[in-house]
Amino acid sequence: MAIHWSVIHSMEALGMFPAKGSVLDIGCSNLYGAEAPAILDFVQRHNPGTSQDLAWATALASRSGFRPDGIALNQAFVGELLEAAGMTYEAVDIASSYRTTILDLNRSELPEAFVGKNDLVINAGTTEHIINQANAFNAIHEATKVGGLMYHQVPAAGFAAHGYFCYTGKFFLDMAAYNHYELVDFWYDGPAGHDNLIDSVEAYKAHFPVLGPYTANRQGVREARVNATPVPNMAVNVLFRRTSEKPFAGLLDVSTSVGAVGQDVYQSYGRSLGARIMSTVKRVATRDWLTRKLK
């Protein structure tokens, strides 16, 4: 998990950083690509009484850089920046790191100490690594104050060997509908290079011998077509505001259901609004799927 300085700049422009507020990082984030003058300006804007100086900012910037081979040093943390800017920063993660409480988002509930306490919750490249999506997004919801912000920056396409998931816009827009989030902003970034799907499974061929011939036979008709189609690496950025005390409603995708879904099912997810939105989405999705199928 990492946040590049350009993203910090975008987050600040959107007013995400709360003055003297609380920030929870879902996965402790490294800071990348920062420069000392920009760091010091940021800190002084948010915390005019700061004792941090250019020497401190220079040290943080140097730790946010990259080795000559392009690999990140991973020695600077977003939490260091935000704390210097007068905010309270904590993280939850499965591994020990800066200001981190150990939490397995596959299996564990959010600790009570974090519930409803945060002005900003950041998910910058974490949830795509978590198989239990409902538990992870419930934790994000619970951690956010009513009126607080939730910022997601996660894969939308490509990143074939990066994690378990890429996210559709549909996923986040349905989430907003079911939970009555205010959609503050939404945008895509990229492409940041391309991934090859066959390359992404190469590392597993020693464990699964059936993959060997497939990864080697890139001149076969099927293999050549896939091999010649690199997938662009794209990210989706979503900024929500939580608007109510209601618990997380989850998501219910009925866009390709054959029959009618009962209103009682929708109500069990707490959203008659969801039923109206989903009925429209289902018609569009079915039409688009049939159009592609018939081409």
**Averages of pLDDT over each 10 residues, the chain, 295 residues:** 95 96 98 98 96 97 94 96 98 97 97 97 98 97 98 97 96 94 97 95 95 95 94 98 94 83 77 48 51 51
pLDDT at 274: 45
Q: Would you say 215 and 198 are in contact if contact means Cβ atoms under 8 Å apart? A: yes
Instruction: Please identify which residue in the block is written with the tokens 């009513």.
Output: 146
Q: Would you say 239 and 124 are in contact if contact means Cβ atoms under 8 Å apart? A: no
Instruction: Give me the residue spans of the domains in the chain.
Output: 2-193+233-251, 252-295
pLDDT at 232: 97
Domain 2-193+233-251, CATH among 3.40.50.150, 3.40.50.620, 3.40.640.10, 3.40.50.10710: 3.40.50.150
pLDDT at 281: 53
pLDDT at 242: 98
Half-sphere exposure of 44 (CA within 13 A, CB side): 11
This prediction has a pTM of: 0.90
Cα distance between residue 7 and residue 92, in whole Å: 21
pLDDT at 270: 64
Cα distance between residue 41 and residue 38, in whole Å: 5
Cα distance between residue 82 and residue 207, in whole Å: 43
Region label for 190, one of left (φ > 0), alpha (ψ between -120 and 50) or beta (otherwise): left
Alpha helices in 85-238 (DSSP H): 133-143, 169-179, 211-216, 221-227
